[in-house]
Amino acid sequence: MGVILVNLIGVLLMIAIVWWFWLGPARGASKAVSAEDKLQILVKDGVYEPDYIRLPAGRATTLHFLREDPSPCSEWVLFPDLEISAELALHQDTKVTIPAAKPGEYPFSCQMQMYRGILILE
Ligand SMILES: [Cu+2]
């Protein structure tokens, strides 16, 4: 009986972890950034923070990338669908201007696609 209970707890814990990382409440809603804030994206530890940005379509916007990762992997940020690439200075704010564009999903990443994010224009 005790063994079954321990297994059950293990399984529930795994489900909880999976739920948290893949389906959790953090995805989307809480990472959304409003157009009023300074749109700063921290580049650190293999992730863009936030990695999910919603902005109004049809309006140019400036994103501020703050790169804190010295590895060359994080040096460039690419928005392939918008034909934007920018070299990010280490420990400094790098402005990246997003032109007015159609509504849609615009993924962005480093050159090797280790860092990934998505820009939603709506
Ligand atoms: Cu990379």
Distance 20 CA to ligand 1 centre (A): 25
**From ligand 1's centre to the CA of 81, what distance in Å?**
18
Contact predicate 33/100, CB 8 Å: no
CATH, residue 81: 2.60.40.420
Q: How many separate domains does the chain show?
A: 2
Indicate the pLDDT class of residue 7, thresholds 50, 70 and 90: low
The reply to whether 81 and 22 lie within a common domain is no
User: 116 is written with which tokens?
Assistant: 């990934």
Residues 43, 79 within the same domain: yes
Whole domain around residue 25: which residue ranges?
Answer: 1-31
16 C-alpha vs ligand 1 centroid, how far in Å? 30
Question: Are residue 27 and residue 42 in the same domain, yes or no?
Answer: no
For residue 88, count CB atoms less than 10 angstroms from its CB and return exposed for 0-12, middle for 13-18, buried for 19 or more: buried
Q: What's the confidence (pLDDT) of residue 5?
A: 54
Q: What is the structure's pLDDT at 38? A: 80
pLDDT of residue 24: 46
The per-residue pLDDT for range 8-33, each reduced to its tens digit, is 556 555 545 445 545 544 444 445 55
